[in-house]
Homo-oligomer: A and B are copies of this chain.
């Protein structure tokens, strides 16, 4: 089964919004064993929409369309679809009642434009919208499956998953579903990835059926293994044997084989070992605390974070000796270490982590150029501190420093020696 994605809307073609719908739908279809062969985006223009529907119908057996289902005059995708399928528009009483109920709750009456959202081509299956007001439709036309979704990503996603997926799963002609294994990595030295890794594992067991891909999610890299083997047990064996080759090669750089990032990984480790954390940040400016507290339930292990941006804050809050700052600079090994130790002591936490560096764009010197940073992670037994240089822009610098600190904490929690 070959599929196409069509996105409708002036705001897509003029660049006002990034077309994330097309990539999200493609990813979903790929994982279900449906090959996506074409994306297109057209403005709110009837003849262009009709033209793109016609061409798609000649090439594909499944066509997903997003956008143009709303209540405004620009939204006429459903009318165009009715014309294309050569069917009259009929009122769906269930949808009409929902619209009436919605506006009644607001103490208002639905306008004629809003009622328009209950009109569908005769014979179409209505896809309910549980997030917004505009329903979608599914229609089988000349053996080609058509599904129309709203352009708002959250509405489109829930409609695809809850309403359309059960229909698609019953449609014949799909390939075997894609089996996917993701090994999420952090901190791999350049040159150990891509070509070298491909070469390294090319000749090994299982990889003849398994494909290898990479996806950067800065500062992380995902190694993706997938195949379309029909027997799920065989697929799992093949993926697992390929994954083992990669594990042997990348070892502790692999942080997870689930869809999670360092803040969640570290949080789960802290919970399972019943440990707590506090952090003292200078150059990361609160990013570490922010990442940690993005994880639901972080209050179980995160005590406090100090963003000691000014030198005086380092002196007042973290008892850093002003003389050390004067002699060695605020960006120095002893300052990082004292920050981590002192925040741990005052929060009475098991771990203390600290960062001090030069995020730029100004503030660099010959000896300590922009991108220089000291990171410290301490606990009852260990005092770890290390100098790095990350020559990125300010925001990426903060991201990679935060992730490096959290990764060191992960390695400590897992008792890795390096």
Contact = CB atoms under 8 A, between A and B. Distances in A.
A246 interface: no
B310 A303 contact: yes
Contacts of A11: 213
Among all A-B residue pairs, the 9 with the closest Cβ atoms? A285-B293, A286-B289, A15-B26, A15-B27, A305-B307, A286-B286, A304-B313, A39-B41, A286-B290
Interface of A: 7, 11-20, 22-30, 36-43, 48, 55, 213, 215, 281, 284-290, 292-294, 296-299, 302-310, 312-313, 316-317, 346-347, 359-362, 394-395, 398
B26 A13 contact: yes
Contacts of A16: 23, 27, 213, 215
A41 B22 contact: yes
A360 B361 CA distance: 36
B36 A19 contact: no
14 contacts: A13-B36, A16-B27, A17-B23, A19-B19, A37-B48, A286-B307, A289-B309, A293-B309, A293-B359, A298-B309, A302-B309, A304-B307, A304-B309, A306-B307
A310 B394 CA distance: 30
B23 A15 contact: yes
Nearest to A347: B313
Residue of A286, A299, A310, A313 with highest tally of chain B CB at under 10 A: A286
Copies in the complex: 2
A309 B286 CA distance: 13
Contact of A309 (B18, B284, B305): B305
A285 B289 contact: yes
Contacts of A299: 309-310
B27 A38 contact: no
| Interface hub of A16, A213, A284 (most chain B Cβ within 10 A) | A16
Contacts of A310: 299, 302-304, 347
A13 B38 contact: yes
A15 B25 contact: yes
Contacts of A24: 15
Given A30-B15, A38-B40, A290-B287, A361 B296 contact: yes
Contacts of A286: 281, 286-290, 292-293, 305, 307
Nearest to A12: B39
Contacts of A20: 18
B294 A395 contact: yes
A24 B43 CA distance: 16
A362 B297 contact: yes
